[in-house]
Structure 1
Amino acid sequence: MNPPKSPLRRIAAIAAGALIGLVGVGALAAPASAHHPEPSGTYCLAADGLTTVTWKVGNSENITAEVTALTSTVPNEFRDGNLAVGATLPKKGDGFLTATQTHRFTERKPKIELTVEARWVRPNRIVTEHRTVAAKPAGTCAAQPTTPPASPTPTATPTVSASPTPSVPASPSPSATTVSPTPTQSPSETPTAPSVPVEPVGTVESTCDKLTFTVENPADGETVTLTLTPNKGEVKTLTVKPGETGSVSFPATEGLTVTPAADGLDDTEPIAWEKPAECDGQGGGLPLTGANTTMIAGGAVVLLAAGAGLFVMARRRRLRFTV
């Protein structure tokens, strides 16, 4: 006779199945929010006061991206490298984009920062994300080697026969000449990078049926009030207190654009809803009916039973609002 099965075994099996499902969901959803450029920078100061900044930008993903925007607080242009708007950002592990900038700052603590925006295209989503980095001091710039001018070849001096020299009494020893030492130039003070203010992070997510704006406000930040004006529909206001996260959504329709506005927000360009490639005509159109709807509903039940919250995490297009 078989002994009755322990209820603990059944509970353990259910828990293990749920854990496997959650791990799988996390593995699928994680790449959606990971896309971002990885900029870094250093700067050095020469004896003549010229500051040289070296920038380097990497990629967080295993696919290439396109650099869509570059903003530097150093006024001079990028040179000596391949970092530029429109450049292809190599995939992770395949190298970096680099460039240098030079400038003579008049302020004691100049702001040396770089903002890089890049765009990744995947079959089910289009991700645009930017990052801002402050360059770190790297001491005094190495002196550039100089090549001394070539000395001319001396001409041969004709030989002159020596004539008898009359004896001359020895002259007294000359007095020692005192030479004043040349004062050494004290090195210029290296400007220190200012601390980067803590900023809220805004995410714009385009899915097949809606355009969602999310603001994550750090605990030590200030209250953020964001006004979102669509070209179709009603204006919405999003207020997020420090340490909180808030979001609003607009129904996805062809041609939808939403203009963000907030105190201190520099980029107020309209943001357009972008239709992912795998929507198959769903976004902005009529809802699916019939057998396809039944299959989709059945699949949704299976995902819910496995503990999947995939729709919360997937298909993100991230954007940072500087407020």
Structure 2
Amino acid sequence: MSNMHRIQWFDQQIRESRYPNSSQLAEKFEISKRQAQRDIEYMNITLRAPLAYIAKHRGYVYEEQTYILPHLYMTEDEKRILRFLIHRYRQYDYDNADAANRVAYLLERFTDAEDDSIHNRLPVFEFNPKLMQTVVLLSDAIKKECAVDLLYEGERLRVYPVKFESRYNIDYVLSHCEHNQKQRMLRLGAIDQIEINEQSKRNSGAILPVKAYPSDEPWRPVQQPFTAKIQLTQQPGPSWGGFAAKPSTDSSDLYEIEFYDTEAFLRHLMTSAWSALLAPKWLREKLRARCGSVLNRLNEEVEG
């Protein structure tokens, strides 16, 4: 149950002159006395409730009877968005990480604190409707242990999603690929179409446990993002296919795109619309080599 339900109960007890305390709150909602005391501190510090402890009655009252709790009701969609934000701040591990973690703690007080499973299945990503829908469908597939059919960077795949992961501000779903029997880290921003296939189940016995699958792509940590200068045909907003994007001061249609995973970014360049890749030079060379390899294979097929 959300701590907001507990706070509302505590508020009502005060208004009925029942002098509630942390022990009563803990007993009522079957939580620890320490958690109950944190709820009371939250009322006092964050909600600015004028609480006063009356030793004679071993409980609390309001020093100002005119105090009213702020509007606490939230829809499930609002709670879901808050959980996304909580997970985002929890995963932040760079400059000012302590402050980000404190923000996560504060936001968590507005949601169901006991629902720890949310941290195991939600990724770190900017909020937009398409990504939210992708996450909802993938979460459902993970829960049901069934396959999903994807259009991923122009490739049709059937995969069994296992869990969400975030790596340096890029969001992935770890999946078992049915085609090559390998683990694949699929970037959420690159999933164009998704459909749950409930007839294909992981628990059928044909699907190996996660450790039995070799990794399709080794990952090496990078401390700072690379930045590509790209001329785009359309304004991308805050991200371009899941990669952070911001307008360049050089030109109105030029954008600076940040990326950590070079391989994922190269695949995105191969399947997305853009006008010119201006920098960095090494990325241009990698893309040229990749395209040359594809052309060579096509020429070999024609000659054969």
Query: What's the TM-score, normalizing by structure 1?
Result: 0.22
Query: What's the TM-score, normalizing by structure 2?
Result: 0.23
More helix as a share of residues: 2
- Work out which of the two has the higher radius of gyration on C-alpha atoms and give 1 or 2: 1
Using CA pairs under 8 Å that are at least 6 residues apart, name the structure with larger relative contact order, 1 or 2: 1
More strand as a share of residues: 1
